[in-house]
Structure 1
Amino acid sequence: MATEQSSVPDAYDDLLEQYRRATYLGDANMVLSWDQEVMMPEGGTPARSKQRGAISAVQHDLLVDDDVGDWLDELAGADLPDDESAVVREIRRQYERKTRVPTDLVEEISEATSDAHPVWQEARENDDWETFAPTVERLLDLKREYAEHIDPDADPYAVLFADYEPYIDLETAERVLERLREGLVPLIDAIRESDADLYEVDGTFPEDRQLELSREALETLGYDFEHGRLDTAPHPFSSGTQFDARVTTRFDESDPLDSLGSTIHEFGHATYTQGLRQDEYGTPLGEHRGLTVHESQSRLWENHVGRTRAFWDLFVPRFNEQHGTDLTPEQAYEAANQVYEDNLIRVEADELTYHLHIILRFEIERDLLAGDLDVEEVPAVWNDKMEEYLGVRPDTDANGCLQDIHWSHGSFGYFPTYSLGSVLAAQLDAAAREDLSLDEQVRDGEFDPLHEWLTENVHRHGQRYTTDELVEEATGESYTADYFLEYAKSKFGDLYDLDV
């Protein structure tokens, strides 16, 4: 840190050293999780569950140790510099939540989520929700118990949501989701009534060529392969630290834009992680702000860069060379922004209908946690909501309620951050365009200016600011959905020749 250590009490150094050790354990656990999803032999789950459970328990014990409480008490009245004050604030927030949760429950949840992963995979492959349902029931019970320990008087969903977004409350998230529904549904209806005929990519595109193109896209955008790697997984994800931020993607031989979009999305996550301060690794100043901000980075790169005309002016020659096609930049741009009526899969969804997927999942999760929906009823309710919100009805559980990995992770409360992050991405994009000639730079393959802008305004701060403070610092305004809704109407109004 920039501040001299002599300016802070000894308790601060002791607290930070304890936190660092816990962080290192958590990051080791994350690598074990990555390995389980990407490379581990199928039979390795029983041992991996025990390994991850043990690490989670030790990490938890370090963070709730009595000494941590004593150090925090000592620092409560200290006049600390801004950076150190932020560190103490973040550690205190974690301490106050974690001390209410028994270590054996933390270990049980960790083991249960490791056990759940292969069950979800098998259920998805066999199109069989009933196989996965007992696991979901077990995880819901554990998460209800977890939430009750933290705040028995609060809505359990609000408690779980705060694990992923600690500084935007659930009421704000609900208001944003409602604004998106009110703004996007009529826009989607207008698009479906439009006579516009956007170009669609058709053909068979081998996985090996898609993998090579994904790697080329990462290199073009500025991914640091010395501190990362590209692999495949059933559900694309990114994980790691500023020293090792990995991405995964998946392939559909009939849809090469899906894997490319997924790769760019995960690149956005990884470039945020790689942009965190290396000298603050192990402290809150070297950690991401939360999943709203994290998702804003992936959605910014996926949508506000990777789905632009400027990007396809740059990248379509490489696409054509790899796949032997003869697309024009305009054709590629149209294909990348097609709003499809047959829209079953969230990670393949367009920018607009994507948010109806999130609303659907949010409503089901809330009802499950509240006990207003039985686990056995999920497929029917899912399919009904899919038909109501998106106009399509899954004919398999694999394409319906089993398509996402999140419930196998016990990640109830996670989904709203996808839409919250998309909203923030548009706000950050608008602010960046005030300072940068972004389209011109993207067209010329010059991505350093955007990397530098995001690092300066978002990445380097870690958790120095709360979410709302960070948004204000980066954009000069409070968090708002206005930019996303204006952007959506402008972009898709132009594409589909709408009067909006």
Structure 2
Amino acid sequence: MATEAAPDDGSDAPDAYDALLERAKRWNAVGSAAGVLGWDQQVMMPEGGTPARSKQLSALSSVRHDMLTDDETADLLAELSDADLTDEESAVVREIRRDHERADAVPGELVERISEASSEALAAWEEARAEDDFEAFAPHLERQVELKREYADHVAPDRDPYEVLFEEYEPCLSIERAEEILEELRETLVPVIDAIRESDRDLAVDTFEGTFPTDDQEALARDALETVGYDFDRGRLDVSSHPFTSGNQFDCRVTTRFDESDPLAAVGSTIHEFGHAQYNLGLPREHWGTPLGESRDLSVHESQSRLWENHVGRSRAFWELFLPAFKERFPDTADATVEDAYEAVNQVYEDNLVRVEADELTYHLHIVVRFEIERDLVRGDLAIEDVPEVWNDKYEEYLGIRPESDAEGCLQDIHWSHGNFGYFPTYSLGSVMAAQLYAAAESEIDDLEGSIADGDFDPLREWLGENVHRHGSRYETNELVRRATGEDFSADAFLAYVDEKYGELYDL
């Protein structure tokens, strides 16, 4: 659909608005600095650096919290309550007010304790995962749960603590809506996955079996980023134990990881992180440090990564373009066809235990497992020591497989070491949103698949930039989706996409 006219250029904003904006830029600069230290901790910091780094991050989080919650910020917001503001200015004040009111309810010393505990838990998680030792991580997980319950109790003592924490990552969609979509995905995808497993259709995956050195895979990951148009002048590629993206519109860095037996997973992971980076790099530079230059929360952020990973990176068009580069790095795959690659990257696994390596369909059952466990942990319905067994039982129930170790089970994700309870649902919400956005882009861009096959990603990048990136946090989630697609946010486009794509792949 056609987009609206360019955003307002501004108005004769009251002095209080200008003062509030300058304060927001300063506390967001502090937060950005903390982000660089967090990136360094996961990518480059020496193993022994944790004690100092935890104190550094704690100090920065405290400084930012104090700036966000002090009396001057409160007075400026009060002065702007009845001010005559443009739509853009009203959106900025709305976002700052939400952050201020939430932060103001939480004591600064608790913010420091959470930051310090997260830094210590990250180091403990990395060691516990390497040693397959949940008991070593358990005290840190328990501490994170306790601190986040305390946090939620300060924000809204009479509400469900998990709901309060979910709003940290998706404040614009209700937990009820998230649960409805997760339930819809589970009810719809389980029968589809069962039908696929009963299908006689064998996909061509053995073409990509073998050993693929990590150095060559890293070169291939760089090839993939260059192919889709990653701006290395404002970013870099590194390796981490859990792929992630960190940064802003001036400096946005991606990481990935490698398995010598599965180079396709590394390509998918790298393109996924590119989607996050492309969103950050596409935000308005002139609004850096303000809500107009910040992404619209995690469901939208995940929609960008999942759109590039699934709708681009798992398409025939992309592999028509990228397969020659793959063969050049790995000559043993010289006989592979585009259809071989397309089938291999879209295989629905019967035995995959790792979320970040999951296929497009079973991925959402991985999310449901995590969502149910963390919700019960935060609500006090599940004891820490029972997490491994409950995790394994749910995998057996939902996916028909059972982890043989905690390293490939409940220790595989980094999120709980950060205390990020409420994060996981946004992965599935983002996948659903990605399908809706891509369907709208496809309807408006002439021969989008042909452009991808030709290596021309400008039409898609420009469409996403126009309809998503340039708005920052101006619109709340559903409004942003409605403006981009003409429809309210729903799972309809995703479910239609699944039916068409996997029905054809598996002769369903």
Verify: 1:48 aligned to 2:53, yes or no.
Answer: yes
- Amino acid of the residue matched to residue 21 of structure 1? R
Q: Distance in 1 between matches of 2:328 and 2:44?
A: 31
Number of the residue aligned with 1:231? 238
Q: Distance in 2 between matches of 1:14 and 1:5?
A: 15
Structure 2 portions without partners, runs of 5+: 1-5
Verify: 1:117 aligned to 2:122, yes or no.
Answer: yes
Cα shift at 1:256: 0.4
Paired residues, number: 498
- Amino acid of the residue matched to residue 393 of structure 1? R
Q: 2:192 aligns with which of 187, 198, 211?
A: 187
Q: TM-score, normalised by structure 2?
A: 0.97
Verify: 1:463 aligned to 2:473, yes or no.
Answer: yes
Number of the residue aligned with 2:357? 348
SS in 2 for 1:209: helix
Cα shift at 1:79: 1.4
Cα pair 2:10 2:88 within 8 Å, conserved: no
Q: 1:431 aligns with which of 436, 440, 448?
A: 440
Number of the residue aligned with 1:72? 77
1:134-158 deviation per Cα after TM superposition (whole angstroms, max 9, x unaligned): 0000000000000000000110000
- Amino acid of the residue matched to residue 129 of structure 1? F
Q: 1:100 aligns with which of 92, 98, 105?
A: 105
Cα shift at 1:489: 1.1
Q: Distance in 1 between matches of 2:428 and 2:488?
A: 17
Cα shift at 1:343: 1.3
Q: 2:376 aligns with which of 348, 361, 367?
A: 367
Structure 1 residues 144 and 497, CA gap change in structure 2 (3 angstroms):
same
- Amino acid of the residue matched to residue 270 of structure 1? A
Structure 1 residues 293 and 390, CA gap change in structure 2 (3 angstroms):
same
Verify: 1:203 aligned to 2:213, yes or no.
Answer: no
Number of the residue aligned with 1:395? 404
Cα pair 2:141 2:384 within 8 Å, conserved: yes
Cα pair 2:306 2:430 within 8 Å, conserved: yes
Number of the residue aligned with 2:503? 493
Cα shift at 1:167: 0.2
Cα shift at 1:429: 0.5
1:225-263 deviation per Cα after TM superposition (whole angstroms, max 9, x unaligned): 010000000000001010001000000000000111000
Instruction: Indicate the percent of aligned positions where both proteins have the same amino acid.
Output: 66
Cα shift at 1:199: 1.0
Verify: 1:338 aligned to 2:347, yes or no.
Answer: yes
- Amino acid of the residue matched to residue 48 of structure 2? G
Cα shift at 1:2: 7.3
Comparing 199-208 with 55-64, which one deviates more in the overlay? 199-208
Q: Distance in 2 between matches of 1:369 and 1:392?
A: 26
Number of the residue aligned with 1:441? 451
Matches within 5 A, 1:142-157: 142-157=147-162
Runs of 4+ displaced beyond 3 Å: 1-6
Cα pair 2:315 2:342 within 8 Å, conserved: yes
Number of the residue aligned with 1:483? 493
Number of the residue aligned with 1:126? 131
Number of the residue aligned with 1:246? 253
Q: Distance in 1 between matches of 2:461 and 2:229?
A: 8
Structure 1 residues 15 and 256, CA gap change in structure 2 (3 angstroms):
same
RMSD: 1.0
Q: Distance in 2 between matches of 1:289 and 1:3?
A: 18
Cα pair 2:8 2:87 within 8 Å, conserved: no
Number of the residue aligned with 1:87? 92
1:14-49 deviation per Cα after TM superposition (whole angstroms, max 9, x unaligned): 111111100000000000000000000000000000
- Amino acid of the residue matched to residue 57 of structure 2? R
Structure 1 residues 256 and 2, CA gap change in structure 2 (3 angstroms):
closer
Q: Distance in 2 between matches of 1:208 and 1:385?
A: 36
Number of the residue aligned with 1:317? 324
- Amino acid of the residue matched to residue 323 of structure 2? V
Verify: 1:411 aligned to 2:420, yes or no.
Answer: yes
Q: TM-score, normalised by structure 1?
A: 0.99
SS in 1 for 2:168: helix
